[in-house]
Amino acid sequence: MKFLEKLGIKAKNQGSSTGLKWNSTCDQGEINVISPADGKLLASVYLASKDDYENLVETSQKAFKIWRKVPAPKRGEIVRQIGNELRKNKNALGTLVSYEMGKSLQEGWGEVQEMIDICDFALGQSRQLCGSTIHSERESHRLYDQYHPLGIVGIITAFNFPVAVWSWNAMIAAICGDVNIWKPSSKTPLTAIAIQNILAPIIKSNNLPEGLFSLIVGRGSDVGETMLNDQRLPLISITGSTRVGRHAAEVIARRFGKSILELGGNNAIIMTPEANLKLAVPGIVFSAVGTAGQRCTTTRRIILHESIYDQVKDLIVKAYGSLKIGSPLDEANHMGPLIDKGAVKDYQNALKALVEQGGKILTGGEVLEGDGYESGCYVTPVIAEAENSYPIVQEETFAPILYLIRYSGELENAIKLHNDVVQGLSSSIFTDNLQEAEEFLSHWGSDCGIANVNIGTSGAEIGGAFGGEKETGGGRESGSDAWKGYMRRQTNTINYGRTIPLAQGIKFDI
Ligand code: UN1
């Protein structure tokens, strides 16, 4: 396949690198990457050893000492070059994302576009790492704060956005003067290797040290756990399930490390009687079935006013009827496969639980077989009627299952249902009523990190801070001032007078 060749992916790939020099460990086992699109073996990757990890950290420490002295706008220049290289490789890399992970081609390319966008953003940000200047209470004193790089940032990513989430972290960390070690999901290591191949010549031609952007492919229970416990990594950014994140947060907190957690979502759309259905239906369908329901931002619940319940139900069920499910590499298809057979099992178990708990499936629920579906990972997207209180509705099932939940009366009843889950990532309201929209966005409205009006819950732009509250973990990545999470803040007081007035007017005669 041409795109594999272009990205330097071989049949057998080394698992860890420091951006230039590839390690040669072959005795720790390997990951066979099977595409969920066709069930075929794409390539395999050797797992890294503990020694590889040690070398990587040592190389990264050395790189940090050099990189932190590079002026931030010059770091931005390197990020600009990365963005340009990604532009050249957008088609091939996006295609690999699609083939390895199973999201549609359009979404694969869109994911690479998000990487390019964050490079542009980070380039600009590299000239704006601003602290504040504060008026001192003491005469002839200057008080200000500034931001310094942290060191090595560990980046642990999930399979569903195998490259974009890394770039949100890595590009921002890079302009902040940090180096990073990336542990991708073991379900999608090839896209990570492709990125190392894209970065390596940039690092070399700019005479930058190895270890600026590193990759380690290893087991979570082994390499991942070592990273969480490693004092030499002052910050770890983790995207994954709440279960994984809770454990990681505890381990990192025990050593007083910093963490950025981007965990599960249970995102809902409220539809009031004043919703514009022409906008809402495509918004809902994309947010619910895009990436086969495997986005953190996927819409999982629709909270529907009883007066429009039947009408909206019929419209969405009808829209689902026209969805084409099949190979993500065929642009005619709307929805590709789930990531693997384990995910299919989770989908089936969730549906079983839903029915046991009193839910009613309106459409979908099948695992597809036959021509084009040989991988066993294709399912039909589900719309079901449910109550918000069902245990299964309270959980994030990473699959295209959409629950319709009825509300009556005022908007506050819908908001109560909306917020009555443990997760708090993304949320939306569809309404043409200004009061309703503003109430949803107010401090007694949505309790999520992302709250939208008249668009769905997914498809957040990189310019805003991305992340959520409650069990979503509270972290923020990507745009706005998320860069502050990748730096340490220092408050500085300078006395340029000839006396030393003590704070709070204290006299201390000696
Ligand atoms: C994720 O699912 O982890 O908002 C990230 C979106 C994408 C990012 C999703 N821009 O849907």
* Residue-wise pLDDT tens digits, 211-265: 999 999 988 788 999 999 999 999 999 999 999 999 999 999 999 999 999 999 9
Query: Are the C-beta atoms of 16 and 319 separated by less than 8 Å?
Result: no
Give the pLDDT of residue 18. 82
- Please give the helix or strand (H or E) that residue 372 lies within, else none: none
- Closest-lying ligand 1 atom to the alpha carbon of residue 294: 2
Name the DSSP letter for residue 70: S
pLDDT in tens, 125-171: 999 999 999 999 999 999 999 999 999 999 999 999 999 999 999 99
Say how many Å lie between the CA of residue 320 and the centre of ligand 1. Answer: 22
Sketch the domain layout of the chain as residue ranges: 2-263+473-491, 267-453
pLDDT in tens, 404-438: 999 999 999 999 999 999 999 999 999 999 999 99
**CATH H-level superfamily of 2-263+473-491:** Aldehyde Dehydrogenase; Chain A, domain 1 (3.40.605.10)
Among the listed residues 85, 114, 210, 262, the single catalytic one is: 262
Query: What band does 179 get if pLDDT is binned at 50, 70 and 90?
Result: very high
User: Phi, psi (5° rounding) for residue 424?
Assistant: -150, 50
Is residue 262 part of the annotated active site? The answer reads: yes
Query: What band does 19 get if pLDDT is binned at 50, 70 and 90?
Result: confident
Query: What band does 69 get if pLDDT is binned at 50, 70 and 90?
Result: very high
- Tally DSSP H helices, then E strands, for the chain: 15, 23
Structure tokens at 104: 């549609």
Query: Are the C-beta atoms of 103 and 291 separated by less than 8 Å?
Result: yes
| The length of the chain, given as a count of residues | 510
Give the pLDDT of residue 174. 98
Nearest-angstrom CA–CA distance, 316 and 425: 23
User: Phi, psi (5° rounding) for residue 329?
Assistant: -80, -10
Given a cut of 90, whether residue 287 has pLDDT beyond it is yes
Closest CA to 297 of 114, 87, 119, 170: 114
Q: Please give the C-alpha separations between residue 457 and each of 101, 426, 463, 506, in angstroms, as whole numbers.
A: 21, 5, 16, 55
Give the pLDDT of residue 509. 78
pLDDT in tens, 325-374: 999 999 999 999 999 999 999 999 999 999 999 999 999 999 999 999 99
Nearest-angstrom CA–CA distance, 174 and 153: 10
Say how many Å lie between the CA of residue 104 and the centre of ligand 1. Answer: 14
Query: Are the C-beta atoms of 212 and 203 separated by less than 8 Å?
Result: yes
Query: What band does 504 get if pLDDT is binned at 50, 70 and 90?
Result: confident
Given a cut of 90, whether residue 21 has pLDDT beyond it is no
Q: Give 152's strand partners.
A: 179
- Residue among 121, 458, 461 to mutate when testing ligand 1 (max atoms within 8 A of CB): 458
Give the pLDDT of residue 501. 87
Residue 376, ligand 1, Cβ within 6 A: no
Specify the higher pLDDT residue, 23 or 209: 209
Nearest-angstrom CA–CA distance, 386 and 381: 16
pLDDT in tens, 77-135: 999 999 999 999 999 999 999 999 999 999 999 999 999 999 999 999 999 999 999 99
* Mean pLDDT within 283-291: 97
Q: Give 258's strand partners.
A: 235
Residue 160, ligand 1, Cβ within 6 A: yes
Say how many Å lie between the CA of residue 340 and the centre of ligand 1. Answer: 19
At residue 329, the 3 state secondary structure works out as coil
Given a cut of 90, whether residue 507 has pLDDT beyond it is no
Give the pLDDT of residue 20. 78
Query: Are the C-beta atoms of 29 and 12 separated by less than 8 Å?
Result: no
Q: Per the confidence metrics, is the pTM higher than 0.90?
A: yes
Average predicted confidence (pLDDT) for the chain: 96
- Closest-lying ligand 1 atom to the alpha carbon of residue 114: 10
> ∠ CA 47-53-57 to the nearest 5 degrees?
150
Which residue has tokens 């805003």?
464
Interface predicted TM-score of the whole assembly (ipTM), two decimals: 0.97
Q: Please give the C-alpha separations between residue 384 and each of 151, 269, 319, 365, in angstroms, as whole numbers.
A: 47, 15, 14, 10
Residue 483, ligand 1, Cβ within 6 A: no
Count of beta carbons in the 10 Å neighbourhood of residue 81: 17
Structure tokens at 278: 């022409």
Q: Identical fold at 2-263+473-491 and 267-453? A: no
Strand order in the sheet with 133-135: 133-135, 141-149, 487-495
Burial class for 20, CB neighbours closer than 10 Å (0-12, 13-18, 19+): middle
* Mean pLDDT within 43-51: 93
Given a cut of 90, whether residue 316 has pLDDT beyond it is yes
Q: Which residues contact 356 (CB under 8 A, 6 or more apart)?
A: none
Closest CA to 81 of 120, 126, 121: 120
- Closest-lying ligand 1 atom to the alpha carbon of residue 296: 2
Which of these CATH numbers, 3.40.640.10, 3.40.309.10, 3.40.190.10, 3.30.365.10, describes 267-453? 3.40.309.10
Q: Give 470's strand partners.
A: 423
Give the pLDDT of residue 60. 97
Say how many Å lie between the CA of residue 458 and the centre of ligand 1. Answer: 6
pLDDT in tens, 380-391: 999 999 999 999
Long-range own/partner contacts, residues 222-228 (CB < 8 A, 24 or more apart): 222/50, 223/48, 223/53, 223/183, 224/156, 224/183, 225/251, 226/50, 226/53, 227/53, 227/154, 227/156, 227/181, 227/183, 228/154, 228/252
Give the pLDDT of residue 23. 82
